[in-house]
């Protein structure tokens, strides 16, 4: 590695918590302050695997539950070389959902253990910071109706939230809970502060392996 590496920063959270809004603002703020930063999101719907996932999420096709879980994971693995390359070039990546969404959404379905769900993502680049945007169901409801995609129901989202809470107990991952009920600028200021610290801390550290 010839330069200081970039940091892998992930935003997770329930539906409508503001993940996409905050990822965009964070990348802009980092760039404005002279840092090299780019945004990525999962699922990345443009690849061949991503197109299968997109069709499933839009309820245009059905896939068996184990199969779709593995496709979500494969969608991360297919972008792993690019992610590593960018991090090693000193580019910080701000990522909208990652393996934690993968595990939380599938394990909220009947018959899936957390452990089974975590296995396919073991060894992916480990985030230097995962910020969980916390928002209650009633506050989320004030941000508009659920859309028409699969998983967008109150009951399922509550089950997902509980799975995220289990994942956050894992101290091998650096979690930071963010109160996402505040206005966009206040949430952004908080996220930016944590991110600047994470970028500094990651500079001289090797890229870790998730859940290994
Ligand atoms: N999924 C999976 O099953 N397995 C996996 O491995 C992965 C994902 C990676 C697609 O997600 C689905 O795939 C998702 C999980 C599953 N299913 N669900 N549900 P997606 O990321 O493509 O889309 P999304 O997750 O449905 O987006 P979102 O959660 O609805 O939105 P968000 O990114 O958290 O929020 P936003 O778009 O930034 O903001 C939502 C609205 O709130 C918008 O009008 C904003 O202007 C407003 N907003 C944002 N912040 C605020 C504040 N602070 N105050 C007031 N209003 C605000």
ipTM metric: 0.97
Is residue 28 scored above 70 in pLDDT?
yes
Among 14, 21, 108, say which to mutate for ligand 1: greatest number of ligand atoms within 8 Å of CB: 21
Identify the CATH number of the domain in which residue 186 sits.
3.40.50.300
Instruction: Give pLDDT, residue 1.
Output: 47
Is residue 164 scored above 60 in pLDDT?
yes
Q: How far is the CA of 23 from the centre of ligand 1 (A)?
A: 11
Residue 45 inside a domain? The answer is: yes
Q: How many domains does the chain have?
A: 1
Residue 106 inside a domain? The answer is: yes
Which residue lies with its CA nearest to atom 5 of ligand 1?
A: 102
Instruction: Give pLDDT, residue 2.
Output: 58
Residue 34 inside a domain? The answer is: yes
Residue 2 inside a domain? The answer is: no
Ligand 1 atom closest to Cα of residue 181: 53
Residue 114 inside a domain? The answer is: yes
**54-85 pLDDT per residue, tens:** 999 999 999 999 999 999 999 999 999 999 99
For the Cβ of 15 lying below 6 angstroms from any atom of ligand 1, the answer is: yes
Q: How far is the CA of 2 from the centre of ligand 1 (A)?
A: 36
Residue 3 inside a domain? The answer is: no
Residue 111 inside a domain? The answer is: yes
pTM of the full structure: 0.97
Residue 212 inside a domain? The answer is: no
What Å distances lie between residue 174 and 8, 87, 94, 121, 189, CA to CA? 11, 18, 15, 17, 19
For the Cβ of 72 lying below 6 angstroms from any atom of ligand 1, the answer is: yes
For the Cβ of 42 lying below 6 angstroms from any atom of ligand 1, the answer is: yes
Q: Which domain holds residue 65?
A: 8-206
């Amino acid at each position: 590695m010839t330069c200081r590496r970039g940091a892998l920063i992930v935003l997770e959270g329930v539906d409508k918590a503001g993940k996409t809004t905050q990822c965009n603002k964070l990348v802009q703020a980092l760039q404005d302050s002279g840092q090299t930063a780019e945004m990525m999101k999962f699922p990345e719907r443009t690849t061949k695997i991503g197109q299968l996932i997109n069709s499933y999420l839009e309820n245009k096709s059905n896939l068996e539950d184990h199969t779709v879980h593995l496709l979500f994971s494969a969608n991360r693995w297919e972008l792993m070389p690019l992610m590593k390359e960018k991090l090693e070039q000193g580019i910080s990546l701000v990522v909208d959902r990652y393996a934690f969404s993968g595990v939380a959404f599938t394990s909220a379905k009947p018959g899936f253990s957390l452990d089974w769900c975590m296995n396919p993502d073991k060894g992916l680049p480990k985030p230097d910071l995962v910020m969980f945007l916390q928002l209650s169901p009633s506050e989320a409801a004030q941000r508009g109706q659920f859309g028409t995609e699969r998983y967008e129901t109150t009951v399922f989202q509550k089950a997902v939230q509980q799975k995220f809470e289990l994942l956050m107990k894992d101290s091998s991952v650096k979690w930071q809970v963010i109160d996402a009920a505040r206005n966009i600028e206040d949430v952004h200021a908080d996220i930016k502060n944590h991110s600047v610290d994470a970028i500094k801390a990651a500079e001289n550290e090797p890229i870790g392996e998730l859940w290994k």
